[in-house]
Protein backbone atom coordinates (compact mmCIF):
# COMPACT_ATOMS: atom_id res chain seq x y z
CA UNK A 1 0.00 0.00 0.00
CA UNK A 2 2.82 2.37 0.82
CA UNK A 3 4.43 1.73 -2.57
CA UNK A 4 1.11 2.37 -4.34
CA UNK A 5 0.63 5.62 -2.45
CA UNK A 6 4.13 6.76 -3.44
CA UNK A 7 3.45 5.95 -7.10
CA UNK A 8 0.12 7.80 -7.05
CA UNK A 9 1.73 10.80 -5.39
CA UNK A 10 4.46 10.86 -8.03
CA UNK A 11 1.86 10.68 -10.82
CA UNK A 12 -0.16 13.51 -9.29
CA UNK A 13 2.99 15.62 -9.00
CA UNK A 14 3.94 14.97 -12.63
CA UNK A 15 0.42 15.84 -13.80
CA UNK A 16 0.53 19.05 -11.78
CA UNK A 17 3.84 20.01 -13.40
CA UNK A 18 2.43 19.20 -16.85
CA UNK A 19 -0.72 21.28 -16.29
CA UNK A 20 1.33 24.19 -14.96
CA UNK A 21 3.55 24.05 -18.04
CA UNK A 22 0.55 24.01 -20.37
CA UNK A 23 -1.02 26.96 -18.59
CA UNK A 24 2.24 28.92 -18.79
CA UNK A 25 2.60 28.14 -22.49
CA UNK A 26 -1.02 29.14 -23.14
CA UNK A 27 -0.49 32.41 -21.28
CA UNK A 28 2.60 33.18 -23.38
CA UNK A 29 0.67 32.52 -26.60
CA UNK A 30 -2.21 34.78 -25.52
CA UNK A 31 0.23 37.52 -24.57
CA UNK A 32 1.97 37.31 -27.96
CA UNK A 33 -1.35 37.42 -29.82
CA UNK A 34 -2.49 40.34 -27.70
CA UNK A 35 0.69 42.25 -28.50
CA UNK A 36 0.03 41.68 -32.21
CA UNK A 37 -3.45 43.12 -31.88
CA UNK A 38 -5.37 39.85 -32.33
CA UNK A 39 -5.53 38.66 -28.76
CA UNK A 40 -8.13 38.94 -26.05
CA UNK A 41 -9.24 42.41 -25.00
CA UNK A 42 -8.70 45.79 -26.59
CA UNK A 43 -5.36 45.80 -28.44
CA UNK A 44 -5.39 49.61 -28.57
CA UNK A 45 -5.62 49.99 -24.80
CA UNK A 46 -2.66 51.61 -23.00
CA UNK A 47 0.23 49.35 -22.11
CA UNK A 48 3.25 49.82 -19.98
CA UNK A 49 6.02 51.73 -21.67
CA UNK A 50 8.75 49.59 -23.09
CA UNK A 51 6.44 46.70 -24.01
CA UNK A 52 6.64 45.01 -27.42
CA UNK A 53 4.16 47.48 -28.94
CA UNK A 54 4.19 50.17 -26.27
CA UNK A 55 5.54 53.67 -26.55
CA UNK A 56 7.22 56.03 -24.14
CA UNK A 57 3.94 57.76 -23.29
CA UNK A 58 2.17 54.50 -22.51
CA UNK A 59 0.04 54.41 -25.65
CA UNK A 60 -0.10 51.34 -27.85
CA UNK A 61 1.44 51.48 -31.31
CA UNK A 62 -0.90 50.34 -34.09
CA UNK A 63 0.18 47.38 -36.17
CA UNK A 64 1.21 48.41 -39.69
CA UNK A 65 0.25 46.10 -42.52
CA UNK A 66 2.97 46.98 -45.02
CA UNK A 67 5.36 49.90 -45.44
CA UNK A 68 4.10 53.38 -44.55
CA UNK A 69 3.44 55.82 -47.34
CA UNK A 70 5.91 58.71 -47.59
CA UNK A 71 4.90 61.89 -45.83
CA UNK A 72 5.96 65.50 -46.10
CA UNK A 73 6.91 64.98 -49.74
CA UNK A 74 6.40 67.49 -52.52
CA UNK A 75 3.29 66.32 -54.34
CA UNK A 76 4.72 67.39 -57.70
CA UNK A 77 8.01 65.50 -57.47
CA UNK A 78 8.64 62.74 -59.99
CA UNK A 79 11.12 60.20 -58.61
CA UNK A 80 12.76 57.64 -60.85
CA UNK A 81 10.95 54.36 -61.41
CA UNK A 82 13.38 51.54 -60.70
CA UNK A 83 12.62 47.84 -60.73
CA UNK A 84 12.84 44.93 -63.14
CA UNK A 85 11.41 43.94 -66.48
CA UNK A 86 9.07 40.93 -66.68
CA UNK A 87 12.08 38.93 -67.89
CA UNK A 88 14.01 39.81 -64.73
CA UNK A 89 16.43 42.44 -66.04
CA UNK A 90 17.07 45.53 -63.93
CA UNK A 91 15.58 48.70 -65.37
CA UNK A 92 15.18 52.33 -64.32
CA UNK A 93 13.17 55.12 -65.93
CA UNK A 94 13.69 58.80 -65.07
CA UNK A 95 10.44 60.62 -65.92
CA UNK A 96 11.90 63.97 -64.85
CA UNK A 97 14.41 64.08 -67.68
CA UNK A 98 14.30 65.07 -71.31
CA UNK A 99 12.09 67.59 -73.04
CA UNK A 100 8.94 65.56 -73.60
CA UNK A 101 6.16 64.11 -71.48
CA UNK A 102 6.17 60.78 -69.65
CA UNK A 103 2.89 59.05 -68.87
CA UNK A 104 3.21 56.44 -66.11
CA UNK A 105 0.38 53.91 -66.31
CA UNK A 106 0.07 51.93 -63.07
CA UNK A 107 -1.67 48.69 -64.06
CA UNK A 108 -2.24 45.21 -62.68
CA UNK A 109 -2.43 41.87 -64.44
CA UNK A 110 -5.49 40.84 -62.41
CA UNK A 111 -7.51 44.05 -62.71
CA UNK A 112 -10.56 43.76 -64.98
CA UNK A 113 -10.53 47.44 -65.94
CA UNK A 114 -6.79 47.27 -66.62
CA UNK A 115 -7.40 44.64 -69.30
CA UNK A 116 -8.82 47.27 -71.67
CA UNK A 117 -5.71 49.40 -71.24
CA UNK A 118 -3.32 46.50 -71.80
CA UNK A 119 -5.10 45.90 -75.12
CA UNK A 120 -5.40 49.58 -76.09
CA UNK A 121 -1.73 50.25 -75.48
CA UNK A 122 -0.83 47.74 -78.17
CA UNK A 123 -1.66 50.59 -80.56
CA UNK A 124 -0.34 53.70 -78.77
CA UNK A 125 -0.57 55.72 -81.99
CA UNK A 126 -4.36 55.61 -81.61
CA UNK A 127 -4.32 56.94 -78.06
CA UNK A 128 -4.54 60.61 -78.95
CA UNK A 129 -1.56 61.51 -76.75
CA UNK A 130 0.84 64.29 -77.81
CA UNK A 131 3.58 63.11 -80.14
CA UNK A 132 6.31 63.67 -77.55
CA UNK A 133 4.62 61.50 -74.90
CA UNK A 134 6.59 58.51 -73.63
CA UNK A 135 4.38 55.75 -72.23
CA UNK A 136 5.70 53.58 -69.37
CA UNK A 137 3.66 50.75 -67.86
CA UNK A 138 4.30 50.10 -64.16
CA UNK A 139 3.10 47.04 -62.25
CA UNK A 140 3.90 45.97 -58.73
CA UNK A 141 7.01 43.90 -58.18
CA UNK A 142 7.38 40.15 -58.77
CA UNK A 143 6.44 39.57 -55.13
CA UNK A 144 2.89 40.69 -55.98
CA UNK A 145 2.59 40.15 -59.74
CA UNK A 146 3.30 37.13 -61.93
CA UNK A 147 6.05 37.99 -64.43
CA UNK A 148 4.61 35.44 -66.86
CA UNK A 149 1.18 37.11 -66.74
CA UNK A 150 2.69 40.56 -67.21
CA UNK A 151 4.74 39.28 -70.15
CA UNK A 152 1.64 37.92 -71.86
CA UNK A 153 -0.15 41.26 -71.44
CA UNK A 154 2.71 43.66 -72.15
CA UNK A 155 2.43 45.39 -75.54
CA UNK A 156 5.56 44.91 -77.67
CA UNK A 157 7.85 47.90 -77.84
CA UNK A 158 6.63 49.58 -74.65
CA UNK A 159 8.64 49.95 -71.45
CA UNK A 160 7.26 47.80 -68.63
CA UNK A 161 8.67 48.16 -65.11
CA UNK A 162 7.75 45.87 -62.21
CA UNK A 163 8.30 48.01 -59.11
CA UNK A 164 6.35 48.04 -55.85
CA UNK A 165 8.52 50.94 -54.67
CA UNK A 166 7.20 53.12 -57.49
CA UNK A 167 3.63 52.54 -56.30
CA UNK A 168 4.68 53.75 -52.85
CA UNK A 169 6.70 56.70 -54.17
CA UNK A 170 3.77 57.96 -56.23
CA UNK A 171 1.19 57.04 -53.57
CA UNK A 172 -0.89 55.05 -56.04
CA UNK A 173 -4.32 54.36 -54.50
CA UNK A 174 -5.18 51.54 -56.91
CA UNK A 175 -5.17 50.53 -60.53
CA UNK A 176 -5.57 51.78 -63.15
CA UNK A 177 -3.86 55.04 -62.14
CA UNK A 178 -2.01 57.49 -64.37
CA UNK A 179 0.67 60.10 -63.68
CA UNK A 180 1.85 62.64 -66.26
CA UNK A 181 5.35 64.12 -65.85
CA UNK A 182 6.73 67.10 -67.74
CA UNK A 183 10.37 66.33 -68.49
CA UNK A 184 11.30 69.97 -69.06
CA UNK A 185 10.25 71.08 -65.57
CA UNK A 186 10.80 67.69 -63.92
CA UNK A 187 7.42 67.92 -62.23
CA UNK A 188 4.15 66.04 -62.14
CA UNK A 189 1.55 68.04 -64.03
CA UNK A 190 -1.37 65.62 -63.82
CA UNK A 191 -2.55 62.40 -62.23
CA UNK A 192 -5.76 60.51 -61.69
CA UNK A 193 -7.87 57.40 -62.12
CA UNK A 194 -9.47 56.54 -65.46
CA UNK A 195 -11.62 53.71 -66.78
CA UNK A 196 -11.26 54.39 -70.50
CA UNK A 197 -8.46 55.44 -72.80
CA UNK A 198 -10.40 58.53 -73.86
CA UNK A 199 -10.41 59.69 -70.23
CA UNK A 200 -6.64 59.31 -70.06
CA UNK A 201 -6.24 61.30 -73.28
CA UNK A 202 -8.44 64.04 -71.80
CA UNK A 203 -6.36 64.00 -68.60
CA UNK A 204 -3.19 64.48 -70.64
CA UNK A 205 -4.74 67.23 -72.76
CA UNK A 206 -5.98 69.21 -69.74
CA UNK A 207 -2.71 68.79 -67.85
CA UNK A 208 -0.68 70.02 -70.82
CA UNK A 209 -2.95 73.05 -71.32
CA UNK A 210 -2.87 73.91 -67.61
CA UNK A 211 0.92 73.61 -67.44
CA UNK A 212 1.32 75.75 -70.56
CA UNK A 213 -1.06 78.40 -69.22
CA UNK A 214 0.73 78.47 -65.86
CA UNK A 215 4.13 78.79 -67.54
CA UNK A 216 2.94 81.59 -69.84
CA UNK A 217 1.38 83.47 -66.91
CA UNK A 218 4.58 83.28 -64.89
CA UNK A 219 6.69 84.47 -67.81
CA UNK A 220 4.30 87.35 -68.46
CA UNK A 221 4.33 88.40 -64.81
CA UNK A 222 8.10 88.08 -64.66
CA UNK A 223 7.90 85.64 -61.75
CA UNK A 224 9.76 82.42 -62.50
CA UNK A 225 8.22 79.26 -61.17
CA UNK A 226 9.67 78.43 -57.74
CA UNK A 227 11.88 75.42 -57.71
CA UNK A 228 13.83 73.52 -55.10
CA UNK A 229 10.81 72.15 -53.29
CA UNK A 230 12.49 68.80 -52.84
CA UNK A 231 15.94 67.29 -53.17
CA UNK A 232 16.01 66.46 -56.90
CA UNK A 233 14.48 69.80 -57.86
CA UNK A 234 16.94 71.71 -55.68
CA UNK A 235 19.81 69.87 -57.35
CA UNK A 236 18.53 70.65 -60.85
CA UNK A 237 17.97 74.32 -59.93
CA UNK A 238 21.48 74.60 -58.49
CA UNK A 239 22.97 73.01 -61.61
CA UNK A 240 21.16 75.50 -63.83
CA UNK A 241 22.37 78.45 -61.75
CA UNK A 242 25.98 77.23 -61.81
CA UNK A 243 25.94 76.62 -65.56
CA UNK A 244 24.45 80.05 -66.24
CA UNK A 245 27.28 81.57 -64.15
CA UNK A 246 29.91 79.70 -66.17
CA UNK A 247 30.75 77.21 -63.42
CA UNK A 248 31.17 73.85 -65.11
CA UNK A 249 31.49 70.38 -63.52
CA UNK A 250 34.96 69.95 -62.05
CA UNK A 251 35.52 73.68 -61.52
CA UNK A 252 38.05 74.24 -58.65
CA UNK A 253 35.62 76.64 -56.96
CA UNK A 254 33.35 73.70 -56.27
CA UNK A 255 36.02 72.01 -54.15
CA UNK A 256 37.37 74.53 -51.57
CA UNK A 257 40.47 73.44 -49.67
CA UNK A 258 40.66 76.29 -47.14
CA UNK A 259 38.55 79.01 -45.55
CA UNK A 260 40.20 81.53 -47.87
CA UNK A 261 38.63 79.69 -50.79
CA UNK A 262 35.23 80.32 -49.23
CA UNK A 263 35.57 83.87 -47.88
CA UNK A 264 38.36 85.32 -50.01
CA UNK A 265 41.87 86.44 -48.98
CA UNK A 266 42.13 89.08 -46.26
CA UNK A 267 38.67 88.39 -44.87
CA UNK A 268 38.66 88.04 -41.11
CA UNK A 269 36.46 85.00 -41.40
CA UNK A 270 39.29 83.21 -43.16
CA UNK A 271 41.65 83.40 -40.21
CA UNK A 272 43.09 80.15 -39.10
CA UNK A 273 41.28 78.55 -36.17
CA UNK A 274 42.69 79.39 -32.76
CA UNK A 275 44.05 82.85 -33.67
Euclidean distance between CA atoms 100 and 54, whole angstroms: 50
Among residues 190, 201, 206, 177, the alpha carbon closest in space to that of 128 is found at 201
- Residue 207 C-beta-side C-alpha neighbours within 13 Å: 24
Instruction: Identify the CATH number of the domain in which residue 102 sits.
Output: 3.40.30.10
Whether 142 is in a domain gets the answer: yes
Specify the number of domains making up the chain.
Answer: 1
Q: Are 161 and 137 in contact (CB under 8 A)?
A: yes
% residues pLDDT > 90 (the chain):
28
pLDDT for position 246:
75
pLDDT for position 64:
33
pLDDT for position 185:
84
Contacts for 1 with CB less than 8 Å, ≥ 6 apart: none
On the question of pLDDT at 230 being above 60, the answer is no
Q: How many Cβ atoms sit within 10 Å of the Cβ of residue 78?
A: 27
Whether 35 is in a domain gets the answer: no
Among residues 86, 107, 104, 105, the alpha carbon closest in space to that of 95 is found at 104
Whether 233 is in a domain gets the answer: no
Euclidean distance between CA atoms 81 and 95, whole angstroms: 8
pLDDT for position 189:
86
> For 69-93, what is each residue's pLDDT tens digit?
444 445 678 899 999 999 999 999 9
Q: How many Cβ atoms sit within 10 Å of the Cβ of residue 249?
A: 8
Reduced to 3 states (helix: H, G, I; strand: E, B; else coil), residue 81 is strand
Whether 246 is in a domain gets the answer: no
On the question of pLDDT at 252 being above 50, the answer is yes
Whether 37 is in a domain gets the answer: no
Whether 56 is in a domain gets the answer: no
End-to-end CA distance of the chain: 100
On the 0-12 / 13-18 / 19+ scale of CB atoms within 10 A, 118 is buried
Contacts for 67 with CB less than 8 Å, ≥ 6 apart: 168
Whether 74 is in a domain gets the answer: no
Whether 144 is in a domain gets the answer: yes
Domain that holds residue 162: 81-221
> For 31-42, what is each residue's pLDDT tens digit?
665 555 444 444
Length of the chain: 275
The partner residues of 190 in beta bridges, in order of sequence, read 180
Reduced to 3 states (helix: H, G, I; strand: E, B; else coil), residue 164 is helix
Give the residue, 257 or 157, on which the prediction is more confident.
157
pLDDT for position 199:
86
> For 141-158, what is each residue's pLDDT tens digit?
999 999 999 999 999 999
> For 160-212, what is each residue's pLDDT tens digit?
999 999 999 999 998 999 999 988 888 888 888 888 888 888 888 887 787 77
Q: How many Cβ atoms sit within 10 Å of the Cβ of residue 27?
A: 10
Amino acid sequence: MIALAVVLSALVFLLAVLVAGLLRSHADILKALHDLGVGVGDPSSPRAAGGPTGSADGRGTPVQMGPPLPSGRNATSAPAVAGSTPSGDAVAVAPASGEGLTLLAFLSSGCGTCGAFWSAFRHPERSGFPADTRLVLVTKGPEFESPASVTSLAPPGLAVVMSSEAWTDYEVPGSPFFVLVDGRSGRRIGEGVANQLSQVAELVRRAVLDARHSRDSEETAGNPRPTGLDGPERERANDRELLSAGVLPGDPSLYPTSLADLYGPGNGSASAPGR
